[in-house]
Structure 1
Amino acid sequence: MSTLCAGLAGAPRSPVTFGAIQYDSPGKDDRSQRSLNAEWVTVTNTGRTSVSLKGWTLSDRGHHAYTFGTFTLGGRASVRVHTGIDHNTRTDVYQSRRASVWNNSGDTATLRDNHGRAVVTRSWGRH
């Protein structure tokens, strides 16, 4: 599905990482909310304590960025960040976009903390 890039030199250790990434929604990419919401990135907290994601950003190589509002990711919990529009829950948040973000042929997902430091990066396909 995706390939982990080399580690981030000098980046602070964080229990927050990427889980699965569905960068190519099943079926035709037709810009419907069903298609857009089938494109997602899972953010996982591998630690035991909760982490505030307020001000954290998830971005692609093309500089499309989603900034988390007030959101706390529980210990050993995950949240899926969907591309399209819907209501946020504890397990699913939505970027409210009307077009795909993640390139099927190759892209890079980067999660940055509220200080702008890269916490995790994952790439797939051609670069």
Structure 2
Amino acid sequence: MKYSTYQSIFPMNLENLQETRKEGKVRLLQVITNTLLLKLLILVIIVWVAGAGVLTVFAAPSVSNKEVIKLTVQPGDTLWKIAVNHKPERMDTRVYIEGIMRINALEDRGVQAGQVLKLPHF
């Protein structure tokens, strides 16, 4: 069969077809860009909220010199035992221990008998 008598029912306008393809590509780029921007925004919000939470947890109130009690460590005392006995009623013991460590510039949680510690007052 050399020649066909088939004729499409759709008009063959190549210019229209090329324009439609260009519009489709532009639309696809817009969708991808919008999706990436949305993901970036969500990531920024998550990092911001997490950072604010971390800063809140590790933030220690400043302690003035007037609000400090000095204590001599007795044999058998630990920072935990000292903190439990001297911390405010509703304060977490771990937070009070961090306050003791900061005000005394301690690098670890070990204390020795006879050592004088400053206790923060909150």
> Do the structures match in fold with TM over 0.5?
no
Larger Rg: 2
* Bigger helix share: 2
Sort the TM-score into its range (normalised by shorter chain): under 0.3
Provide the TM-score with structure 1 as the length reference.
0.26
Provide the TM-score with structure 2 as the length reference.
0.27
